[in-house]
Amino acid sequence: MDRSDKPRVVLGVSGGIAAYKACELLRRLTESGHDVRVVPTGSALRFVGEPTWAALSGNPVTTGVWEDVHEVPHVRIGQEADLVVVAPATADTLARAAHGLADDLLTNTLLTARCPVVFAPAMHTEMWEHPATAENVATLRRRGAVVIEPAVGRLTGKDTGKGRLPDPGEIFEVCRRLLARGAAPGRDLAGRHVVVSAGGTREPLDPVRFLGNRSSGRQGYALARTAVARGARVTLVAANTSLPDPAGADVVPVGTAVQLREAVLKAAEDADAVVMAAAVADFRPARYAQGKIKKRDGREPEPVALVRNPDVLAELAELSAARPGQVVVGFAAETDDVLANGRAKLARKGCDLLVVNEVGEDRTFGAEENEAVVLGADGSETPVPHGPKEALADTVWDKVVHMLNAG
């Protein structure tokens, strides 16, 4: 592909220790066919030098507005970009961007860009939580930028807390989603809080064994990722998944159906939409053995008695009756009579939308792709052809946004 045909991405890097992680983001962007122009701040260059950015991007690197003046880079770079991503974004860069300062090439670029803009902040927890930063973030979000919530974990020193740069691969996913959506309404979930459950619950029999299912969590993670890219605040309740945390989502790990119920109901209190993509076990062992269940020679094993788990989706649908405008979405995995069973389940559970897909040994569970029909309580039926789980996720959000805006 000729350079001019490639989507143009500006990678702004500001001066924090996480600048080294932006090298990985840069690699992912260039390897997936993007023309990347790196615009570091002066402080960023104290962490990672200009030759690294130039070599990895294959493009010249400048921080000031006084180089190559005849090419007017302080205007052109922003105007020509299809996406600007600032990673890491320090408290200082967020402040300068929020106030419209134009004292270096990056801030000039931010003022001239008319494409989607993503900030991936990284700083110490105190700086992130300071009202000044919080207000700057709110200002940038109000103006249409996607500001990804920092991750929680180890910070520069010995301390841990909120403020880590999310996994570069996940920042890349946000960028990819924004570029893929192109002219589509980009941030139509801005200002909304959405809750997504993902994965499969495990119901313990004893300290080492459980009853579980084969859900990987991929569909729920795709829903969380796409919602972040569309500007939502996302709570992801993740049951026994082993996928990287989607950048920008608040991840609440859970194990059992009872734990999942507690986490989802709490997060749903102020949510605009709740999507139950998790495979929740309908039953759990009636008795939990404190010690490992041993086989005893010559004796048949004890039968495992089961009791019903709460139906979280049905409970959410009932609660949402008292929450005007809240949209509740369920998933149904069926092996036969897919549509008829789906319709009956939608009515039984009382949710607004039900995503029905056919499952089997080698279908849906753990796969990268999916095929489904989205049923609406209003009688609508939207088939989603076989494709990436993110495409199905976007169809679900399209429907949710439509309902939120109508309601």
By annotation, the residues acting in catalysis are 213
Q: Does 333 bind ligand CTP (CB under 6 A)?
A: yes
The single residue among 103, 269, 270, 282 that binds ligand CTP, judged by CB under 6 A, is 282
Q: Does 238 bind ligand CTP (CB under 6 A)?
A: no
Region binding ligand CTP by CB under 6 A among candidate stretches 32-40, 169-177, 295-303, 304-312? 304-312
Number of continuous H segments (helices) and E segments (strands) in the chain = 14, 19
Q: Is the dihedral of CA 361, 362, 368, 371 positive or negative?
A: negative
Least distance (Å) between residue 309 CB and ligand CTP: 4
Q: Does 392 bind ligand CTP (CB under 6 A)?
A: no
CB of 38 within 8 A of CB of 55? no
CB of 127 within 8 A of CB of 133? yes
Count CB-CB contacts under 10 A for residue 154.
12
CB of 134 within 8 A of CB of 141? no
Q: Does 23 bind ligand CTP (CB under 6 A)?
A: no
Show the tokens assigned to 279: 């495979």
Region binding ligand CTP by CB under 6 A among candidate stretches 93-101, 203-211, 226-234, 272-280? 272-280
Q: Does 274 bind ligand CTP (CB under 6 A)?
A: no
User: What are 375-383's contacts with CB under 8 Å, separation 24+?
Assistant: 375/339, 375/342, 375/343, 375/346, 376/352, 377/346, 377/351, 377/352, 377/353, 381/339
Pairing of strands 273-276, 327-334: parallel
Residue type, 270: D
Region binding ligand CTP by CB under 6 A among candidate stretches 22-30, 248-256, 276-284, 377-385? 276-284
Q: Does 65 bind ligand CTP (CB under 6 A)?
A: no
Least distance (Å) between residue 345 CB and ligand CTP: 6
Least distance (Å) between residue 311 CB and ligand CTP: 4
Least distance (Å) between residue 223 CB and ligand CTP: 12
Nearest Cα to 85, choosing from 188, 10, 148, 197?
10
C-alpha 331/C-alpha 357 separation (Å) is: 8
Region binding ligand CTP by CB under 6 A among candidate stretches 36-44, 66-74, 274-282, 394-402? 274-282
| Residues 309 to 328 in contact with ligand CTP, rule: CB under 6 A | 309, 311-313
Q: Does 257 bind ligand CTP (CB under 6 A)?
A: yes
Which residues sit at the interface with ligand CTP, rule CB under 6 A? Answer: 257, 276, 278, 280, 282, 309, 311-313, 330-333, 345
